[in-house]
């Protein structure tokens, strides 16, 4: 433990020293600057969300609030949702010239109008609005009330009540979550959820994280979704924890437009549950009919694109090197599907779907690894792993011996943690300059701060940093690079990995521990100069949380 602490201190000291030296170095060496480009690689996530997000969206529709049990077949009861509305004193503050509570009312009204298009049962609970009591924790913290009872298509009634609420008191989030569970227990519903809209953390000494976890653990599980409005980093951290403990998701909003979008996304869960609209990921890639004709694939998310009769397989191949680790993940996106009218795929309403991932050697011989198969509701996932010991790669098939396979079983390929990179898009610049000292330290700093957001439907960012030729080393750059990120949300977890690029090929670096979320160090092999660095940032917040971040690079040559 002491060694880790010393190592961490050394990294921090080194990083600070490097960063402080940079301004002076750059000022003294403006004439020597060699401009390079930073490009963010479009990995296709916005077209086809990350595997875990696809799964979560499907389970929102097909499974109960705890995401583990299927909604009973033939269930016709509505989805019940209680919206907890923040009317505490902080909502009286202004944002962009408007009171935050007025912004929230407008956004809530639009969301309620969308809910009116479904059969969902909706109620409104509010806290902090009672101005008849003393503004003190003792008097105001008990102020949480069901101000508008459950009803279908009640937008006009609910909005009329929330429009009369005025911000005043404290923020009893834990007590409101507990009370919402009691409210929801009194209605007949096939699924139950809470949507908390707040601009601040708990101020009444409650434990909202424990309260959300208790709701999820009830006999009728309640999922808790949180919309955070104009929160600071510490407040976001608490809201993230509430959503995570409650089995829901966190949605961040900083202004009127993003608040409306965030609330709309939260109520969209209700609509999808009620209407059973499954958001599928479709990326059809036809496989070969034999192992010899297998379609070669790299990291990414794919669907088979055709209805497969039982005992029919489609083959794919992954080319890997010795020591590379492959993870194949499968996800059911449909109920049982078979040929319907005119041979077109017909998906049943409740029957269980199935498919199998079966591994083969590239020469066509089955591997000793056991095939992975699932037969269950949409949203069910499974996986198969393989480490290449010979450098021959792996082939696999999609199919099933016992049932038809729908055209959309999702399979994801991950190689050494890489989930997929496609074309490049430009987004900024980075400058490197050479130090005049004998060791020719090459230093780098973002001359235009490269910032972006990560999480939600975009959990992976990949940056390409083109490296300049350096005097005395015309073939390219070599040395050590340190990569740092700073996230706007405190405690947000990121993994960083750094690879090299040489003559258009991605190459592993000699040393790349990475993974800390704050620092990755990569050593480049001597006499193996690089044309560029590939920096991959991966969000580990699987609850859909989003954060802005800044990217910093310091390089020693």
Cα(133)–Cα(126) distance, integer angstroms: 15
Q: Please tell me the least confidently modeled range out of 202-206, 332-336, 348-352, 428-432.
A: 428-432
What's the whole-number mean pLDDT along residues 533-537? Answer: 75
pLDDT at 491 over 90: no
Give alpha helix (H) positions in 345-491.
Answer: none
Nearest to 296 by CA among 321, 325, 317: 317
Cα(353)–Cα(278) distance, integer angstroms: 14
Domain with CATH 3.40.50.410 in the chain: 76-275
Most confident region among 20-34, 62-76, 272-286 by mean pLDDT? 272-286
Q: What is the pLDDT of residues 363-380, one digit of tens each?
A: 999 998 889 999 888 888
Most confident region among 18-32, 302-316, 493-507 by mean pLDDT? 302-316
CA distances from 390 to 309, 319, 323, 481 (A): 34, 11, 8, 31
Greater model confidence, 125 or 503 = 125
Q: Which residue is associated with the tokens 């010393």?
A: 6
Domain with CATH 2.60.120.510 in the chain: 18-43+422-556
What's the whole-number mean pLDDT along residues 90-117? Answer: 92
Task: Report residue 46 CA to chain centroid gap.
Answer: 11
Nearest to 127 by CA among 95, 71, 166, 92: 166
Cα(430)–Cα(34) distance, integer angstroms: 9
The DSSP secondary structure of 443-512, one letter per residue, reads EEE-SS-EEEEEETTB-EEEEEEEPPPBTTBTT-B-SEEEEEEEESSTT--EEEEEEEEETTEEE--SB-
Q: Please tell me the least confidently modeled range out of 22-31, 268-277, 535-544.
A: 22-31
Q: Please tell me the least confidently modeled range out of 17-26, 160-169, 321-330.
A: 17-26
pLDDT of residue 361: 95
pLDDT at 512 over 60: no
pLDDT-based confidence at 27, cuts 50/70/90? very low
Q: What is the pLDDT of residues 252-303, one digit of tens each?
A: 888 888 898 888 888 887 777 776 777 788 888 899 999 999 999 988 889 9
Q: Which residues neighbour 10 within 8 Å (Cβ) at sequence distance 6 or greater?
A: none
pLDDT of residue 159: 94
Q: Which residues neighbour 361 within 8 Å (Cβ) at sequence distance 6 or greater?
A: 367, 392, 394, 395
Q: What is the pLDDT of residues 435-456, one digit of tens each?
A: 222 222 233 333 345 677 787 7
pLDDT of residue 498: 75
pLDDT of residue 11: 37
pLDDT of residue 67: 59
For the chain, how big is the Rg over CA atoms in Å?
A: 27
Cα(195)–Cα(208) distance, integer angstroms: 13
Q: Which residues neighbour 548 within 8 Å (Cβ) at sequence distance 6 or greater?
A: 451, 452, 453, 487, 488
- Mean pLDDT across the chain, nearest whole number? 77
Neighbours of 446 (CB within 10 A): 17
pLDDT of residue 322: 86
pLDDT of residue 137: 95
Cα(95)–Cα(230) distance, integer angstroms: 9
Task: Report residue 395 CA to chain centroid gap.
Answer: 29
Q: Please tell me the least confidently modeled range out of 374-388, 402-416, 540-554.
A: 540-554
pLDDT of residue 199: 94
Nearest to 552 by CA among 42, 18, 5: 18
DSSP bridge partners of 366: 360
Greater model confidence, 245 or 17 = 245
pLDDT-based confidence at 45, cuts 50/70/90? very low
pLDDT-based confidence at 123, cuts 50/70/90? very high
pLDDT of residue 349: 75
pLDDT-based confidence at 541, cuts 50/70/90? confident
What's the whole-number mean pLDDT along residues 390-396? Answer: 93
pLDDT of residue 504: 64
Neighbours of 311 (CB within 10 A): 10
Greater model confidence, 62 or 224 = 224
Greater model confidence, 524 or 2 = 524
DSSP bridge partners of 359: 396
Cα(518)–Cα(551) distance, integer angstroms: 10
Write b or e for each residue in 231-242: b if 16 or more Cβ atoms lie within 10 A of its Cβ, otherwise e.
Answer: beeebbbbbbbb
Question: Is beta strand 410-415 parallel, antiparallel or unpaired with respect to 325-331?
Answer: antiparallel
pLDDT of residue 428: 28
Most confident region among 29-43, 252-266, 324-338 by mean pLDDT? 324-338
Q: Which one-letter DSSP state was computed for residue 77?
A: P
What's the whole-number mean pLDDT along residues 399-421? Answer: 86
Percent of the chain, pLDDT > 70? 72
Question: Is beta strand 191-198 parallel, antiparallel or unpaired with respect to 79-86?
Answer: parallel
Q: What is the pLDDT of residues 142-197, one digit of tens each?
A: 999 999 999 999 999 999 999 999 999 999 999 999 999 999 999 988 889 999 99
CATH level 2 (architecture), domain 291-415:
Sandwich (2.60)
What's the whole-number mean pLDDT along residues 330-339? Answer: 92
Token representation of residue 196:
């908390």
Domain with CATH 2.60.120.380 in the chain: 291-415
pLDDT at 98 over 70: yes
pLDDT of residue 122: 95
CATH number of 76-275: 3.40.50.410
3-state SS, residue 50? coil
pLDDT of residue 38: 42
Q: Please tell me the least confidently modeled range out of 217-226, 393-402, 455-464.
A: 455-464
Cα(371)–Cα(366) distance, integer angstroms: 10
CATH level 2 (architecture), domain 18-43+422-556:
Sandwich (2.60)
């Amino acid at each position: 433990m002491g060694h880790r602490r010393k190592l961490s201190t050394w990294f921090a000291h080194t990083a600070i020293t490097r960063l402080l030296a940079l301004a002076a170095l750059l000022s003294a060496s403006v004439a020597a600057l060699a401009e390079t480009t930073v490009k963010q690689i479009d990995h296709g996530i916005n077209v086809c969300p990350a595997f875990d997000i696809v799964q979560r969206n499907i389970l929102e529709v097909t499974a109960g609030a705890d995401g583990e049990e299927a909604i009973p077949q033939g269930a016709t009861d509505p989805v019940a949702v209680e919206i907890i509305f923040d009317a505490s004193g902080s909502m009286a503050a202004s944002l962009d010239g408007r009171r935050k509570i007025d912004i929230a009312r407008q956004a809530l009204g639009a969301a309620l109008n969308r809910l009116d298009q479904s059969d969902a049962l909706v109620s409104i609970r509010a806290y902090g609005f009672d101005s008849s009591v003393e503004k003190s924790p003792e008097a105001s913290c008990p102020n949480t009330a069901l101000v508008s009872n459950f009803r279908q298509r009640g937008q006009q009634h609910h909005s009329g009540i929330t429009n009369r609420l005025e911000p005043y008191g404290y923020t009893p989030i834990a007590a409101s979550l507990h009370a919402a569970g009691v409210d929801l227990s009194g209605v007949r519903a096939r699924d139950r959820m809470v949507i908390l809209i707040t601009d601040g953390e708990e101020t009444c000494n409650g434990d909202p994280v424990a309260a959300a976890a208790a709701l999820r653990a009830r006999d009728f599980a309640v999922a808790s979704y949180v919309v955070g409005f104009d929160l600071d980093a510490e407040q976001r951290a608490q809201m993230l924890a509430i959503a995570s403990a409650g089995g829901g998701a966190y949605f961040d909003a900083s202004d009127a437009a993003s608040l409306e979008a965030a609330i709309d996304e939260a109520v969209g869960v209700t609509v999808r549950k009620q209407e059973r609209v499954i958001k599928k990921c479709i990326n059809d890639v036809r496989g070969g009919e034999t192992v010899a004709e297998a379609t070669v694939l790299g990291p990414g998310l794919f669907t088979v694109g055709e209805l497969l009769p039982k005992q029919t397989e489609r083959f794919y191949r992954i080319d890997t090197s010795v020591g590379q680790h492959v993870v194949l993940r499968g996800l059911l996106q449909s109920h049982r599907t078979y040929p319907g009218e005119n041979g077109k795929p017909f998906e049943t309403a409740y029957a269980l779907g199935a498919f199998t991932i079966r591994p083969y050697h590239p020469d066509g011989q089955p591997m000793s690894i056991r095939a992975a198969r699932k037969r269950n509701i949409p949203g069910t996932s499974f996986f198969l792993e393989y480490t290449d010991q010979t450098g021959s790669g792996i082939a696999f098939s999609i199919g099933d011996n016992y049932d038809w396979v729908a055209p959309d079983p999702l399979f994801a390929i991950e190689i050494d943690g890489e989930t997929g990179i496609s074309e490049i898009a430009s987004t900024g610049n980075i400058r490197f300059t050479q130090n005049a000292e004998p060791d020719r330290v090459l230093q780098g700093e973002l001359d235009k701060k490269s910032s972006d957001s990560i999480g939600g439907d975009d959990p992976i960012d990949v940056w390409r940093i083109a490296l300049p030729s350096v005097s005395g080393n015309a073939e390219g750059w070599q040395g050590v690079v340190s990569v740092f990120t700073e996230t706007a949300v405190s405690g947000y977890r990121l993994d960083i990995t750094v690879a090299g690029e040489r003559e258009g090929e991605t190459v592993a670096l000699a040393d790349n521990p990475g993974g800390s979320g704050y620092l990755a160090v990569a050593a480049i092999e001597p006499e193996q100069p690089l044309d560029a660095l590939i920096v991959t940032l991966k969000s580990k917040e699987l609850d859909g949380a989003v954060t802005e971040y800044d990217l910093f690079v310091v390089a020693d040559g």
